Chain A
Amino acid sequence: MIVSFIHRAVMQGIPLLFGSTGEILTEKSGNLNLGIPGIMYVGGISGVIGSFLYENSLADRSNPNVFLLIAIPLLCCLFGSLVMGLIYSFLTTTLRANQNVTGLALTTFGIGFGNFFGGSLITLVETDVPSITLSLTSHYFAKTLPFAHKLGWFGEIFLSYSFLAYFAILSAIVVSIVLKRTRVGLNLRAVGESPATADAAGINVSKNKYLATCIGSMIAGLGGLYYVMDYASGVWSNDAFGDRGWLAIALVIFTVWQPNIGILGSILFGGLYIVHNYMNNIIPMNMSTQELIKMAPYVVTVIVLIVISMRKKRETQPPASLGLAYFREDR
């Protein structure tokens, strides 16, 4: 049972890991992108739209082109999230709009966009399918390593995930190495800590902010795609993604802006999200207590937030210029 619990916790954690890795990258450039929940919705629905149109256009469903089946949703998802990232960057970096307001508007827009197409796609393309079920695409997105089941518990805990899950972990490691160990990362962190200093040192502030926000959005968008295609087996239902986007932002704080800690953190948060299903077997619980347990990730995050602000350690602080627009002539 513990093995299956860990397995489910990882599955729950992967969307959060994508979201938080993307958000950490974004926040390191000084952009507090509260549009992440919206971006994850858009990433998910863009992939769904792409693969829905492709699956419906297939004449022979028994012999699909596997490459296209995977590439189309993937590219649609990346494109959709990229556009969201560009809207955010354009408004906050180029037009210097308020980041909180822009981010929240982006979330309203993104969740609306997801639910609108999720609810109206069938009407809009005028097909007669009863619901959006992308079984073909999902079959390939959820494919695990072939030998995973032969290895018992080891296989189930470490090997039984789809390629996007491993990509999530890989991207968290890569982002954390880039941020900590490379010149590119150093420049980016300089932009987030003190854009004026970075500017004086000849770093292109706008370019760094644009790049970090857009790449971050694309990573976060994949979280939405993973959720629909793998976790939900290709079935889109409105609002099913829930508050995972905000949980991803909570995870950013919980991991004190370090994507590599995020790998374990996401599994922990994923576990807290589903632990009530498993604790039922040990201590019987009613529905009301389960609701209280779902509160845990947020409470833990608040505690972390308070502790880091009390300890004032340099390494664990949010980027100093987080949430502030930069205008060269303001100095």
Chain B
Amino acid sequence: MKKTVEKGAHEQLVQISKRAALPGWKSWVIRVLAVLASLIVCAVIIVLFTGDNPFAIYVTMIKGAVGTSRRIWSLLQGVAMLLCVSLAVTPAFKMRFWNIGAEGQVLMGGLATASCMILFGNKLPSYVLLPLVIVASIAAAAIWALIPAVFKAIWNTNETLFTLMMNYIAIQIVSYFTYIWSVPKGSGKIGVINPDTQAGWLPIIGKYNYLLNILIVAALTVAIYIYLRYSKHGYEIAVVGESENTAKYIGINVRKVIIRTMLLSGALCGVAGLLLVSGTDHTITRDTAGGRGFTAIMVSWLAKFNPLYMILTSLLLVFMQKGATEISTVFGLNDSFSDIITGIIIFFIIGSEFFINYSVRFRSRKGAEAK
């Protein structure tokens, strides 16, 4: 495959040209083939490390991911959280604004949630506290996202690097507060907040811990799909993403779109932070976002920024992660194994995009194939 770049002295061995849009089903065949190829490579690697038969291993993975009803719930919860962050970064990406600061935005949202729960937990009645928690977390994350957006809009500051740095500033701020509020003092851990009164905890539907989170994210998925696809805002985002000059020419206020979209992006990260802190963990650590801010970028990109496909891509990644964690438990290996698997799958899917966007023709196979 390396030969595709090497150019012969006289004529190119391989010709690469941009494809006119492939029919939808064909591009999906290529993507599915890429996923299958990555699963085969993963299987080979797993066999190398464990010496077990690959089919048995995939059975172990499937059991690890969906073996019991508790595991299914935890899988769905994992998908919902990853999907929520992915939804958050998508509007910005569609605008070609590389918001890789979701990690920090989620943390700031979570921190706002936690601080409301700690400071007002036993002072305000829950019908005041819950709305306050929700508003605070969304606002905190939105402001965190607004900072790089303003500089991008006015001075064209490189947003990739800016948002990246903002992650670590947020992580340190969270660390700071985990020491201030740590229980017991100085331990550096907050522990479960308001364990007795459950003040500021999101309500539980029936006896299903994660159901509310999942329903909220499902509703958001549909909402973002409609927003991006059918609303005027969504159209403006798409135009700015395709060409800023076109957008200016047809009278779109690019600065306004950038700032508005990043506010939305941050607000959704705030929701993710809220669901993680108030709806799931009931505490905050510097690992609350857990790398989802970065994984979400890959989820969103792999799904071509389509919220409905993002359900599939986040399911694939979370499924493989849970399965790989199970393998490492069974075989006594380190659980970072799942990161290796994730990496390999993403490499393959990223690579497959090339064959969707470009057609490759080999010279030796006669020119007849050329159209």
Contact = CB atoms under 8 A, between A and B. Distances in A.
B347 A112 contact: no
A119 B301 contact: no
A116 B45 CA distance: 13
Contacts of B100: 34, 100, 104
Given A104-B298, A243-B168, A292-B176, A109 B339 contact: yes
Interface string B342-371: 111011001101100110000000000000
Contacts of B186: 286-287
Contacts of B18: 327, 329-330
Which DSSP category, helix, strand, loop or mixed, fits chain A's interface?
A: helix
28 contacts: A91-B350, A91-B351, A94-B2, A94-B4, A94-B5, A95-B354, A97-B353, A98-B350, A101-B302, A105-B346, A105-B350, A107-B294, A108-B294, A109-B346, A110-B343, A111-B336, A113-B336, A113-B339, A116-B339, A119-B334, A120-B337, A291-B175, A294-B175, A295-B169, A295-B173, A302-B162, A305-B157, A330-B18
B337 A100 contact: no
Contact of B353 (A95, A116, A206): A95
B17 interface: yes
Interface string B287-316: 000010011011001100000000000000
Which DSSP category, helix, strand, loop or mixed, fits chain B's interface?
A: helix
Given A112-B340, A113-B340, A291-B172, 9 more contacts: A94-B1, A97-B351, A108-B298, A109-B344, A119-B334, A250-B168, A288-B177, A306-B157, A322-B158
A107 B297 CA distance: 13
Interface in A246-266: 246, 249-250, 253
Contacts of A97: 350-351, 353-354
A61 B162 CA distance: 50
A280 to B, nearest CB: 15
Given A98-B301, A100-B160, A318-B158, A115 B351 contact: no
B332 interface: yes
Nearest to B6: A206
Contacts of B335: 119
B157 A105 contact: no
B222 to A, nearest CB: 25
Contacts of A330: 18
B310 to A, nearest CB: 14
B338 interface: yes
B164 interface: yes
A123 B179 contact: no
B169 A90 contact: no
A138 interface: no
Interface string A288-300: 1101101100110
A329 B358 CA distance: 11
Given A95-B354, A97-B350, A100-B297, A115 B168 contact: no
A95 B166 contact: no
A312 to B, nearest CB: 8
Contact of B2 (A90, A291, A298): A90
Interface in A282-331: 286-289, 291-292, 294-295, 298-299, 301-302, 305-306, 309-310, 318, 322-323, 327, 329-330
B165 interface: yes
Contacts of B16: 327
B58 interface: no
B121 to A, nearest CB: 20
A2 interface: no
B161 A105 contact: no
A32 interface: yes
Q: Name the 7 nearest CB pairs between A and B, nearest first.
A: A112-B339, A109-B343, A119-B334, A288-B179, A115-B336, A95-B354, A295-B172
A106 B339 CA distance: 10
A262 B151 CA distance: 25
A89 to B, nearest CB: 10
A104 B151 CA distance: 24
